[in-house]
Structure 1
Amino acid sequence: MSQIKKQGRPKSEEKSRLILQAASRLFLKDGFTKTSMDGIAKASGVSKQTVYSHFDSKDVLFQSAISSKCRAYQLDTPEVFESASHEPGITECLHKIGRQYIRLIQDPETVGIFRVIIAEAVNNAHVASLFYQAGPKRSLDALGHTIWQLGKGDLTQEKANQLAIDYCALLKGEFHTMLLCGIHPAMNDKHIHEHVGQAAEKIAVLFAHYRNK
């Protein structure tokens, strides 16, 4: 699989950042299919060759844009899950991750890219797969691993992964569908705390049930 090419000098890292920012704007504005590497090069003020020197393909660049957004909410790095796993209990751990998850999925740019994916997926399942692997799948895998660690050997990885899926489903619930449809506003901090708390408590009950079986 193609990988992001390693960056060396600060100047190179700055160009990579500019390319990624320009690509993110274009993917959001025009969608994946209509966005070209030529257009990204022009928008970022570099040559097409420079774009390819940082990112092997448009697929890699698109997935990097998705990962970058997740990273902005600390949901694309093992550190946040490692930190959460040191909370006093499963409920507190899920609270910490859940609040960031809600803030991510209701971010205007995230909502926008979800709508782009939905619109393009009918004729281009490939872009939906790229999005899923770089965003939801990666976060689910990390959450599943964290829950498994909290199980301290009393929980199988399969059960832990299922709890991760169930938790994210509870967090999104009806809210996410209504948000994407434009008929529900983003939650404020108070509502996020309440919503996440309810979902976390339900998963904590299932977690205890599976550990005691």
Structure 2
Amino acid sequence: MARVRTDEKRREIVKVASELFEQNGFDRTSMSMISDRLGGSKATLYGYFKSKDELFQAVVDYDVPEQSDRLMQEFFSGKDLKESFTKLGIAFLTRLLSPTPIANMRMMANRPEGSEISRTFYNETLRPAWGRLAERIEAMMDEGLLKRADPWVAAMQWKGLNEWDLLDRRLLGIDKEIDPAEIRKAATTAAEAFLILYAPDTPTRKAKRK
């Protein structure tokens, strides 16, 4: 029971810190502000996180694994490959372009070059999340549903096909939100382009190439 309470308290701290970081930015958010919002003491806060950097690491790591699981569920709910990749793209872009991930990316971009936080986040959280998609793509290649290629490269190409200039516009503050219709269009055209690249060769496709 004590462990459950400890985990719940940790999640509460991360949630509150995430809200304050999003509202004020990393530099303007202090541990005192976080403890005040929580209604506890700084000693309690430091009992869970030794520094603001460590807490920020927890914030940016918080929901990536959970969101990765949800995205894979969206993928498996499709009736065919085009629908599956389209649904995955819509879910990915909707989450990527929402306020919290955008705020976290902006704060991460402001970290000093070579920041250990950024390196740890990429190596231990972000890359493994994309690795799950690469593994799924590799499985589809093994099943003959997609053309044999480097699964990681294919996953990164899918990512780029979806992002268009939507991520740039959000990060630069040009748009506060992206129209869902534009997200659907980006995800649909990305799925179509990806399958043109990676659909397995058929006799008809081979003949056209000659």
TM (norm. structure 2) is 0.75
Find the aligned partners of 2:120 and 2:12 in 1 and give their Cα distance: 21
Equivalent residue for 1:173? 164
Larger CA Rg, structure 1 vs 2 = 2
SS in 2 for 1:120: coil
Question: How many residues align structurally?
Answer: 202
Query: What are the ranges of 5 or more consecutive residues in structure 2 without an aligned counterpart?
Result: none
Retained in 1: the 8 A contact 2:74–2:88?
A: no
Q: Which runs of 5+ in 1 are unaligned?
A: 1-6
- Determine which of 61, 70, 93 is the counterpart of 2:64: 70
1:106 pairs with one of 82, 93, 97? 97
Counterpart position of 1:96? 87
C-alpha distance in 1 between matches for 2:164 and 2:190 = 10
CA contact (8 A) 1:20 1:65 kept: yes
Relative to the length of structure 1, the TM-score reads 0.74
Find the counterpart in structure 2 of residue 20 from structure 1.
14
SS in 1 for 2:198: helix
Q: How far apart, CA to CA, are the structure 2 residues paired with 1:39 and 1:157?
A: 52
1:175 alignment partner AA: L
User: 1:188 and 1:135 mapped to 2: Cα distance?
Assistant: 28
- 1:186 paired to 2:177: yes
For residues 210 and 128 of structure 1, the distance between their equivalents in structure 2, rounded to whole angstroms, comes to 40
Displacement of 1:57: 6.5
Note the 1:4-153 alignment, pairs <5 A. Answer: 8-9=3-4, 11-28=5-22, 29-31=24-26, 40-48=34-42, 50-51=44-45, 54=48, 61-70=55-64, 75-77=67-69, 80-81=71-72, 84-85=75-76, 87-122=78-113, 125-133=115-123, 136-153=126-143
The answer to which structure, 1 or 2, has the higher relative contact order (CA under 8 A, 6+ apart) is 2
Task: Describe the SS at the equivalent of 2:199.
Answer: helix
Tell me the C-alpha RMSD between the 2 structures: 3.5
